[in-house]
Structure 1
Amino acid sequence: MGSTEEHQRLPTLPFPTHVSMLRFVESRSREIAALNQELAFRHKNTLVLQRLPRHMRRRATSHNPKRLPRKLRPIHESQFRDGPPSASKRPSRKFRRRKRNLVDEYNRRQEAGKPRWLETHLWHSKRFRMRTLWNWRIPWQDNQKSQRSCYRASRQYALLNDLSFWGCLEMSGSEENLLEVLKGIRHPDCASLAPWHPDVLQGIRATMVTIATESHQVIGQAQLLWMPEPLPQDEVEAMDDEAVRSALDARKWKAKPFPTVAKCPEYSFGNGMSITDLKEAMVRFRIMGPKSSAVLSKVLSPIVEEDPVSKALTADLNGEGFAPKAILQMIVQDPRIRMPGRKTRIRDRDVAVVNGIQAASGGSVSAVPVGNAFSLWHSDVRDKISRQKIPDSEVNSWRRNKELKGIGEELHGTKVPVILIRIAGDEEGYCPSGGWDLLLPLGWGMAFWLPLVYHGVRIGGLREVMNNGNGICDFPQGWPDCPAGKEWEEMLNSARRETDLKRPQNKRTKFIGDLGFRADDPYKFPYEKLLESWGCQGTPRIHPVSSSDANLSWVRLRMCGKGRPLEDAQVCLEEKDGGPGRVIGYVSRLGSWYGDFSGRCVAYALVVNVLLDQPDVSYVLVRNLTTEVYRRAQLERLTFDHY
């Protein structure tokens, strides 16, 4: 009864007596047109024979259109009028791994807008985890657990890295103009050798230049190599090996360079100076470890028997007699000809015998005559050397006949100019023995890479390059006071945050205790808030540490007992009662995972600069963000000499 009464109280509306179909269809015309179009072209990217139901499909329909229904035959003919459509299927891996296809893929990767490949990319991509950094595909770390083995190789044998992604600029002009420009961009407090030092101007030693703005804001670091005078034209023509050229004509070798020799862009200025970008013209390897000199003496075979550089390299296989950043230049034979058939290692007794003879004779290799062998910096010579390279197939065929059958004439390879730059070691660092930087012309990366690998060196990635510095990390890691360093820090922080948030809730990093300035974002270094709490004005400034306007400094932390500082660990003052005080800095990402062979861990941190001048600040407390336990550590300030 209640529902009936409510229904009766509802207002009644008159229903329409008729419907105008014309108006109804016109109002729905757009919807009907869209529906018809969707029904007609629901298979936009397929052939007409693929639109048929499964029970009407035939395998020979593409060859015999009469097997299709009559209404679909005109559409089929229009689709096959210009031939069958191109297959969009990806080629098989067997086809893509062919030698000529790999070379074409490498050359295609050198185009603008795509991540570039190193010459050793094909070797690294099978064995390393690759990352895209600075528009390069760079090997980051080995697929195996190689962290301990790489550290052991740098301490006991040799560790090899490919640094060809480093930029290289050639500045040409008069000596006065070049020195004037370098004085304007060099930081005044830089403690390394000045560009106008006699050893630098003569091309005997290299130097590190800290580039800064007029307001002394650091931009980055650059290694400076000076070429005193250009190469004479007769020496340029002498590099055109007549024997190699005649062999190329006689055997009809394919002169297809790998990679393709590209023209380097050049920028000219009104004062007679010009800058040439050589990032596509040079290959750079770094070999670190106590056996690095011995390995290079085996791989680099000089053209001249009495070559002074080769004799000095052989006479001091430990590399201790060379000055830091010394430059050695030589012209060597093709290393593929003397490459061993299987992997070998340099024995300790061979190094001891050579060093004993050198010590008994009283010889010294601190000063090696360089001469005028700067042919690697000449563009014509680099292009000739890249084009005259003998193909790997011919070298392997010659080696096979020589080793198995004992027949075949002697193979005369191309003369290759190389440059060696000495890297000093540090007893407190990752590699105390130092090593060498090897500079090669374009296209000769794998020709030197494989002989070095076959002499037993360990291969490392960018992770090892970042950790093998002398206590201070390489650019841009650890340089948060410059634009490149800030970008690097933001990239690492975002990557850590994304990786941690992808994990389940119970597997994420659990931050314990008072986070202090990092309460808002525990993955970020709060340098600005740290400086503000200590009354320091302005943006963070670290480099160089000897500058009076630097408000952050690098320090070395040596743990007094057990404990291992992790990344982003807090560094606090130690109160008189042994309790933790105010936060003064944070552990950096470098050096916190290896020790100093004394059972105690060593780490490097950035702390506030105003506290380091106080004599009572020699011990601090370190706490990881995942625990509430504080560990005592000894604090030691680093100077610019540690760079």
Structure 2
Amino acid sequence: MATNGSRQPQVSTALPPRTLNVQKFAESRSSELETLHSIIANRLNNDFRSRRSKRRRTTGYDNRTAKNRYRKKQKLGVVDASNDVASEKDEKKPPRHIRRKLELKKNPEIGFCTSGDGTKRLRTHVWHAKRFTMTKLWGFHLPLGLQGRGTGSRALLKRLKHGVLMHDASYYGAVQLEGPEDSLLAVLSIVLVSSPSAHSEDISHSVLSGVIYRNAMLHHVGAPFSCPIAPVTYMWRPSHQQYVGVDGDNNTDGCDKPQKINNCSSSRQLWVWIHAASFREGHNALKFACQKQMDETGILISCISLEGQLAKLEVMGSRTCHLLQMMLHPVTCILENSWQLKKCSVVEADGETRLKNFSIFDSEDHTSSSAIISLKVIDPRALTEKRVAVAPEAKSSSILGHVRNDEINGHMNLADNPNKKSELHSSLWSKPEEISDLSECIDLWDVSNGFDPPVEESVLCMEKQHQQLDFFRLGNKNLGAANVSSKGRCSRFCPIMLLKNDNQKGSVIRWSVILPLSWVKAFWVPLVSHGAHAIGLREKHWIACEGGLPYFPSDFPDCRAYSCFMATEAAAADKKEKLRPPAVRCFNVPIPPPWDCVRFAFDKKSSTLGDAQSHFEELYAKNTVDCNSFTKSDCENCETAALGSHVVSSFEGFVVRTSYMLSEFLNNINGEHLLLFPNMPDGKKRISKFMKDEGKLSCQNRAISLLNYDNKLCFLRVLLHAYKKGVFEEGAVVCAPHLTDITLWMSRSGSNDGEILLPQSSLRSFFVQQPSGKWELQIPDDPVARESHRWPIGFVTTGFVRGSKKPVAGAMCEAVCLARLREEQWNSMPVKQRRMEIFVLVRNLRSTAYRLALATIVLERWDEDLEYV
């Protein structure tokens, strides 16, 4: 039938109702329901009981024993079961795991939760306790490693190369110094090595302006020859910060003003990050230095602890930048003098608008090392893969603007509402003063003023539920707003700091995220859910060894924290060994290594002490705090039982960690002719000159000035690589080889002919423990055993990582002994066979075989050895 132009009937486009009355729906369908009921009743013969074999055990959680007891009482007529159960439930406390879960679920703004003995718990303690082996260390319950036998390094290195690893380093504490800039610089110059004045002018300007941070070694007052405390990271608050909106307008209400303390316009603010093992000692040293400076100048300097207010998350791996770019969506940004982020733009594809964020992570190679970036980001829990923040293209001088809360949580989907893109462009981005939540420029440096905690998880879940109901047009809009209210103050934006760790010494990409302590769980769970693999202290040590970086406190034997840590390790090793049957127990080995035994090898090669060396050692002894004569009260967070039953071997020496200090040491002992080449401007030229010299390198008319018995030795950190084969364990002894040892190792091919072996009878007596508990080196009396004896010049502090393709071990060796070994080896080899590395022998303490290794002095490759993991 032709319509002849007649209008087609219109289909009703009425939307379904937002609410559905179930009773009316059933009444309207009553006839259909009765028909279905009759059909089912005929099939089941009116027996609607479920078969016993198909019933689910829905009452398996009940206490069956208690039920039976109350039933018996009820039969005997003793008590009324209902009243008795109710009264007992009222008096009985909730189980421990329920009470603990409720306690740890709390999220106070500052401070750590503590256990009964006062041990602190991280905010991620519950998450780690379910998956990791926990240990009590440095006053914290810390994750030691994944459950198991302590293996898994091969899989960890694979994740490091192709994925992302994350570690909760909130046990690090910050100390805040405030005062005039000149006074703060004076304080740092007497407690830090290297001091701020030792850097070049460009680096010093960048550090003072707050663009980059620096690593240094914290000492007691009297640096650089005083007792070291720990490696630290210090950063300055930018002298002036500028808040930039989307349209380039500056907010001059309070963010671009310089910090003022006591009405002094030149006052500055400084943070010093210290490891938990030495936090109390470092804080006291800084307070003493500030007090000394105030007594001399009369200018007020404040030194306060920020422990329990800030947290630190360490993210590392090849895909670190990709993960951070995906999870961190900036809302505001604080710009420093010489730092700017690239612009952000909107990319439209397939009817969907997404943010293409050209930020620092896209140009990571161009980002300066040790950079500091201050950001204010959106709560990562509120972001999903399909609903991300959208930003219009901004000018080159502008940064990400402000996102409304309803857009962050996905109340408006551009794919479903393409006609509202223009409306979004004009309403989503506005000036800072138009948004109440972002009206103030909140910076992480204002931590003393406090920060609002994140929105509770229950509130976010309720919001998502209402969003789903709105999507299906169910429920009531007015009811949703009342139920989503959160208790107390809360925020959807968090100020953070991003620190790019200097990765010039290794291939490991590392970033540190500093944020308020109350926001740790809000960032931790989303990062883990998006691919970050959590690691503990053991895995972190493996990563440091793989990158050739020192690990605190294992690679810092001159610090007090090392002695305390080793005392705890020795007690744990003895306790574990006592649990084994006597027939299969291994013989004891020194923990920590007996560093004073290096003195024998030193004296073996020593000669008459020079006047310059005596002057240097007098200067050292005059300004040295005895860091080995500590007591239980001085050792922070150490196990009392460990210190009471073990004698900690003192570290007889000092460690040089900068090229400047090594050069100064050589000058003071008149050792310019020693074959040690600090990484100075002419260091490479000097070492090339000596390596190509065909004549003898030793000076026949000049005696080498060496240390005597009563003075401390100089140690350098070296990296050890096995020449052909061998696995170097922690605590292994590094010995000085003979020239014939090197020749035999280099000439033999695969066979064991010429392998240097220590006699089995001398293995247990190489280091002998005295009744006092101190370990001593035992020189063998047997002529055969004496031929295989090699003098120790150092010890391995970090052993090989199993599964590494290029295994490397860290060790501490005496500096003058290394120079003498290099001189002997260069004199005995042709010019073409000379190496920058030094041949040494390494023997594990429970092994009889010496392995040839190549030792690389760290300070000959880099200016400083202060970067640590």
Bin of the TM-score, shorter chain as denominator length: 0.5 to 0.7
Q: Partner amino acid for 1:301? A: H
2:157 is aligned with what amino acid? Y
* In structure 2, distance between residues paired with 1:190 and 1:227: 15
Structure 2: runs of 5+ lacking an equivalent = 1-71, 79-86, 244-250, 256-282, 335-339, 345-356, 387-395, 397-439, 485-489, 607-616, 622-651, 666-712, 742-755, 757-787, 826-837
1:350-499 superposed matches below 5 A? 375-379=443-447, 383-386=450-453, 389-402=454-467, 406=471, 414-425=492-503, 429=506, 432-469=507-544, 470-499=547-576
Compute the displacement of 1:502 (Å).
2.2
Q: What displacement does 1:605 show?
A: 1.4
CA drift of 1:109 comes to 3.1
Segment of structure 1 superposing worse, 282-291 or 475-484: 475-484
SS at match of 1:208: strand
Q: Where does residue 170 of structure 1 map in the other structure? A: 176
Alignment match, 1:252 = none
User: Is residue 2:139 matched to residue 1:135?
Assistant: yes
Aligned residue for 2:236, secondary structure, equals: coil
1:603-622 equivalences in 2 (<5 Å)? 603-614=809-820, 615=822, 616=824, 618-622=838-842
Q: Residues 293 and 313 of structure 1 are in contact (CA less than 8 Å); yes or no, is this contact kept in structure 2?
A: no
2:383 corresponds to which residue?
338
Aligned counterparts of 1:180 and 1:171: Cα–Cα separation in 2: 12
Query: Contact 1:191–1:641 at 8 Å: present in 2 too?
Result: no
Which residue is 1:254 aligned to? Answer: none
Q: Select 2:372's aligned residue among 321, 324, 327.
A: 327
Q: Counterparts of 2:553 and 2:496 in 1: how far apart (Å)?
A: 27
Letter in 2 for 1:198: H
- Is the CA contact 2:213–2:233 (under 8 Å) kept in the aligned structure 1? yes
Once residues 479 and 339 of structure 1 are traced to their aligned partners in structure 2, the CA distance between those partners, rounded to angstroms, is 44
Structure 1 Cα separation of the partners of residues 198 and 318 of structure 2: 24
Describe the superposition over 1:432-451 as per-residue Cα deviations: whole angstroms up to 9, x where unpaired.
13210000012100111111
Instruction: Provide closer, same or farther for how the CA distance between residues 191 and 454 of structure 1 changes in structure 2, counting only shifts above 3 A.
Output: farther
Cα shift at 1:424: 2.3
Indicate conservation of the 8 Å contact 2:558/2:654, yes or no: yes
Alpha-carbon deviations, 1:360-381, whole Å to 9, x = none?
A: xxxx9xxxxxxx9781010365
Aligned to 1:218: 228
> Against the structure 1 CA distance between its residues 282 and 320, is the aligned structure 2 distance closer, same or farther, given a 3 Å change threshold?
same
Alpha-carbon deviations, 1:509-567, whole Å to 9, x = none?
357xxxxxxxxx53330001222542399832114264355622211111122221122
Q: 1:318 to 1:588 in 2, by over 3 A?
A: farther
Asked if 1 retains the 8 angstrom alpha-carbon contact of 2:153 and 2:542, the reply is no
Instruction: State the AA in 2 paired with 1:159.
Output: L
The 1-side partners of 2:182 and 2:195 are apart by: 22
Aligned partners of 2:143 and 2:367: how far apart in 1?
30
1:628-643 correspondence to structure 2 within 5 Å: 628-639=848-859, 641-642=864-865, 643=867
Mapped to 2, the partners of 1:529 and 1:502 lie a distance apart of 30
TM-score of the aligned structures, taking structure 2 as reference length: 0.51
- Can you give the 5+ residue segments of structure 1 that lack an aligned partner in the other structure? 1-57, 65-82, 239-263, 342-363, 365-371, 512-520
The answer to whether the 8 Å contact 1:218/1:543 transfers is no
Tell me the alpha carbon deviations over residues 139-197 of structure 1, each in whole angstroms, 9 at most, x when there is no partner: 11012554333222222211100010011111001101101111111235899858981
Q: Describe the superposition over 1:75-97 as per-residue Cα deviations: whole angstroms up to 9, x where unpaired.
A: xxxxxxxx99x97x874256336
Alpha-carbon distance between aligned partners in 2 of 1:101 and 1:197, rounded to the nearest angstrom: 43
Taking a change above 3 Å as real, the CA distance of residues 440 and 192 of structure 1, as seen in their structure-2 partners, is: farther
Q: Secondary structure at the match of 2:740?
A: coil
Match of 1:572 in 2: 735
The alpha carbon displacement at 1:588 in A equals 2.9
1:252-282 per-residue CA deviation (whole Å, 9 max, x = no partner) reads: xxxxxxxxxxxx9998966221112111110
Q: Which residue of 2 aligns with 1:277?
A: 305
Distance 1:271 1:321 in 2: 41
Task: Please give the residue correspondences for 1:1-16 in structure 2 after superposition, counting only pairs within 5 Å.
Answer: none
Determine the C-alpha separation between the residues in 1 that align with 2:254 and 2:116: 33
The one-letter amino acid paired with 1:608 is: E
Q: Is the 8 A contact 2:164 2:318 kept in 1?
A: yes
Please say which of residues 197-206 and 574-583 is displaced more in the overlay.
574-583
Q: Distance in 2 between matches of 1:402 and 1:506?
A: 68
**SS state at 2:173 partner:** coil
For 1:453, what is the secondary structure of its paired residue? Answer: helix
From 172, 181, 186, the equivalent of 2:187 is: 181
The match for 1:627 is 847
Q: 1:540 aligns with which of 642, 649, 653?
A: 653
1:526 and 2:594 aligned: yes
Q: Against the structure 1 CA distance between its residues 100 and 565, is the aligned structure 2 distance closer, same or farther, given a 3 Å change threshold?
A: closer
The aligned amino acid for 1:552 is F
CA distance in 1, matches of 2:187, 2:594: 36
Distance in 2, Cα, partners of 1:236 & 1:446: 32
Which whole-Å CA distance do the structure 2 matches of 1:374 and 1:179 have between them? 27
Cα contact 2:657–2:864 (8 A) shared by 1 = no
Say whether the 8 Å CA contact 1:302–1:333 is kept in structure 2: yes
- Does structure 1 retain, via aligned residues, the 8 Å contact 2:730–2:799? no
Structure-2 separation of matches of 1:574 and 1:104 = 58
Q: Which residue of 1 aligns with 2:262?
A: none
Q: Which amino acid aligns with 1:449?
A: W
1:478-524 CA distance string (max 9 Å, x none): 2111212221222222222322232222433357xxxxxxxxx5333
Q: What's the counterpart of residue 345 of structure 1?
A: none
Distance in structure 2 (CA, Å) of the matches to 1:596 and 1:288: 17
Q: Deviations over 1:563-596 (max 9, x none)?
A: 2112222222222222566233454342512465
SS in 1 for 2:193: coil
Q: Secondary structure at the residue paired with 2:526?
A: helix
| CA positional deviation for 1:611 | 1.8
Which of 587, 590, 615 lines up with 2:798 in the alignment? 590
- Equivalence map 1:54-203=2 (5 Å): 91-93=94-96, 95-96=98-99, 98-99=101-102, 102-103=105-106, 109-110=113-114, 114-144=118-148, 146-187=152-193, 193=199, 197-203=204-210
**Structure 2 Cα separation of the partners of residues 158 and 103 of structure 1:** 29
Amino acid at match of 2:809: A
Greater shift in the superposed pair: 281-290 or 308-317:
308-317
Q: Is the 8 A contact 2:211 2:372 kept in 1?
A: yes
Q: What residue number does 2:767 align with?
A: none
Equivalent residue for 1:356? none
| Change over 3 Å in CA distance of 1:607–1:232 after alignment to 2 | closer
Cα contact 1:330–1:418 (8 A) shared by 2: yes
Give the deviation of 1:319 after TM superposition: 3.0
Question: In 1, Cα distance between the equivalents of 2:204 and 2:727?
Answer: 42
Q: State the alpha-carbon separation in 1 of the partners of residues 232 and 592 from structure 2.
A: 27
Q: Is the 8 A contact 1:300 1:335 kept in 2?
A: yes
CA contact (8 A) 2:189 2:197 kept: no
| Aligned residues of 1:156 and 1:291 also touching (Cα < 8 A) | yes
Match of 1:555 in 2: 718
| CA distance 1:532–1:188, shift in 2 (3 Å) | farther
Distance 1:589 1:608, change over 3 A: closer
Number of residue pairs the alignment of both structures matches: 497
1:509 to 586, 591, 606: 586
1:109–1:59 CA distance, 2 compared to 1 (3 A) = farther
The alignment yields a C-alpha RMSD, in angstroms, of 4.3
Q: Secondary structure at the match of 1:565?
A: coil
Kindly, what percent of the aligned residue pairs are identical?
23
* Structure 1 residue 229 displacement after superposition: 3.5
Which secondary structure state, in structure 2, belongs to the residue aligned with residue 574 of structure 1? coil
